[in-house]
Structure 1
Amino acid sequence: MTSLPRLSIGLPVYNGEEYLAESLDALLGQTYEDFELIISDNASTDGTQDICRRYAEKDSRIRYKRLPRNIGATPNHNLVFTESRGELFKWASHDDLYARELLRRCVDALDEHPDVILAHADQAVIDADGQVKVPYTYTLTTGSPYAPDRFRSMLFEPGGDDFYGVIRADVLRRVRPLDSYHHADRTFVSEIGLFGRFHQVPELLYFRRDHPTRAERANPSKRSRCVNLDPRRAGILHPTPRLLAEYVWGFVSAIQRAPLSAADRRACYRHLAAWATSRARPGAGERVEDRAPVDPSLLSVSVDALVAGREGRAGGKA
């Protein structure tokens, strides 16, 4: 009888042929190998299916599922989690890159710290060619043992892509599934943070790709982004005010559901009220990828040396 993998990686994809093979090489080349890779193809119309089937034939850890119709990015993200079997879970993006040691460092952190529920690593934003645009210093206090401190930090500070960390699956089953209103990923991660603290591995191991065809770039308006997340958001029943109201309510309901003491719950509500009434704090609405690019001559670590499948490439300094 085949034993279950300890870690499940869920990779939802739609028309990802441009970068998918690079991301698969990076994931399959991890030094930590006890995982399954669940790919859910959201009825892609490009070469995504051929790439997925080719890789699945070569590596038995891949479970490839092709959907008969495009159900939207959010339902597809939730689907790969429901298909998972591991005690740990990680979402992966088809266009990002992952250093060989990323999974091992995150799993080791969870093993060393039983009270930690999510582990991730330092990151940098890369361009379409895999060249570093912006290294990002993680400043969130998600490692605090005090839930209101974690919650306040995630409200006010620029995010660190904790959504793509390695997460204890039993915690994910206790939170509300990812939704599709404006910034639903932020309320989702904030709710996870109310269940326990995170650990940030102090090594540059995750590279988030920013490119013109990325969903956020291809869908500039709030409504178009939400329709991309779930086609059911199209139409007059989902105007922008409703999408924004659901965003705020997402935080409220997360506080209501979380296993908090009465005092901690009140503290979280106070932080939420401060956030809702004033967005004037510097950096509150900042996007990391919109920061000024770094001078390439100041970079010292090579992306191509860290990421499997990129050996021999020129450039890629981080």
Structure 2
Amino acid sequence: MGGQFPRVSIGMPVYNGERYIEQAIESILAQTFSDFELIISDNASTDRTADICRIHAVRDRRIRYSRNETNIGYGRNQNLVAELSSGEYFMWAHHDDVRDPQCLERCVEILQKNPSIVLCYTYTRDIDETGQLLPRVDPPLNLHSVRARDRFRDIIRMDHICEPDFGLIRTSILKKTGLHGHYADSDRVFLAELTLYGPFHRIPEYLFFRRAHALQSTAQHSDRQGRTRWFDPTKLGKLVFPHFRQFREYLCVIGRVPLPWNEKVDCYASMMKWVHTNHRRLSADLTVATKDVLRPFVKALVN
């Protein structure tokens, strides 16, 4: 370590990740930039995750492993690793993804040279369960713009997979945000808040590899309602309106980040366009909720 605290904190929330977590940990430990801590928060896994993590923690003092007594939900566990961090920069690392050995070093260099940049990330390639490359098309995002309204307008679009969420972030800015909310697609809201603090930088090299497999949340829960209840188990059996929630959270972000009034107005205008673009998704929230309310009555009539 270069000082009392590591330069970088890497947070890895995990639940039942025995199949991929060893490879994910090893890809972190193989980074050419070595001044980091790896914080692993095990969300009460029931498989071999704990044993794998403890073995690596004994071998490498940079690993801090902790285990929750009960499953606190994905969203809370995701935030926990950030709250436990102590580095100047922070990065999330999922238990099933891998990084090129130079990924961390390249991102640190960018943030050190450019104080105005809030987050640095790289090109992404998708891989399958065996590590083979998958086809992928990334839409262009204007997240490097000097204007907050341009960055906000693009990040709230629904046609990208939020890869900047796995970039290297200035902790001083990270701590100002609300982190990830306990609802589906809260990563979009989190990134939207970060864009209002400053530009992102994307390194034009494939240094991050995102794994696609049958056990990931989007495969297990194809609808927003299901993913929201996965994020926050307290929502089980309750009505949820994920797209309306997302709309409300975007408005809250605009309201709390210190911006010139004209930038705020432009961001609010972008939200009006967002409503128009996503009116079918908002309508679907109401339709699903109505069906959930009526289902017990229909079942009683049928029986």
**TM > 0.5:** yes
The residue aligned with 2:61 is 60
The residue aligned with 1:255 is 254
Query: Among 142, 156, 163, which residue is 1:161 paired with?
Result: 163
The residue aligned with 2:292 is none
Note the C-alpha offset of 1:126: 0.8
| Contact kept in structure 2, 1:43 and 1:66, CA below 8 Å | yes
Cα distance between partner residues in 1 of 2:183 and 2:83: 21
Note the C-alpha offset of 1:240: 3.2
The residue aligned with 2:296 is none
Deviations 1:71-104 (A, max 9, x none): 0111001111111110110010000010001000
Cα distance between partner residues in 1 of 2:24 and 2:80: 20
Say how many residue pairs are matched: 277
The residue aligned with 1:246 is 245
Structure 1 range deviating more: 130-139 or 55-64: 130-139
Cα distance between partner residues in 2 of 1:139 and 1:159: 12
The residue aligned with 1:264 is 263
The residue aligned with 1:45 is 46
Unaligned runs of at least 5 residues, structure 1: 281-318
Structure 1 range deviating more: 150-159 or 57-66: 150-159
Deviations 1:141-175 (A, max 9, x none): 11001000000111225244111110001111111
Instruction: Tell me the secondary structure at the aligned position of residue 40 of structure 2.
Output: strand
Matched, 1:97 2:102: no
| Contact kept in structure 1, 2:162 and 2:188, CA below 8 Å | no
Cα distance between partner residues in 2 of 1:82 and 1:153: 28
Instruction: Tell me the secondary structure at the aligned position of residue 135 of structure 2.
Output: strand
Matched, 1:36 2:37: yes
Matched, 1:216 2:215: no
Give matches, 1:1-318, under 5 Å: 3-137=4-138, 139-156=140-157, 157-236=159-238, 239-241=239-241, 243-279=242-278
Distance 1:268 1:198, change over 3 A: same
Unaligned runs of at least 5 residues, structure 2: 280-303
- How big is the alpha-carbon RMSD for the aligned residues of Structure 1 and Structure 2? 1.5
Segments of 4+ moved more than 3 angstroms? 135-138
Instruction: Tell me the secondary structure at the aligned position of residue 178 of structure 1.
Output: coil
Instruction: Tell me the secondary structure at the aligned position of residue 263 of structure 1.
Output: helix
Between the aligned residues of both structures, percent identity stands at 38
Please identify the structure whose Cα radius of gyration is greater.
2
Structure 1 range deviating more: 226-235 or 262-271: 226-235
Note the C-alpha offset of 1:222: 1.9
Deviations 1:261-302 (A, max 9, x none): 00000001111111111249xxxxxxxxxxxxxxxxxxxxxx
Instruction: Tell me the secondary structure at the aligned position of residue 46 of structure 2.
Output: coil
**What TM-score, normalized to structure 2?**
0.88
| Contact kept in structure 2, 1:13 and 1:40, CA below 8 Å | yes
Instruction: Tell me the secondary structure at the aligned position of residue 158 of structure 1.
Output: coil
Please tell me the residue identity of whatever aligns with 2:222: P
The residue aligned with 1:300 is none
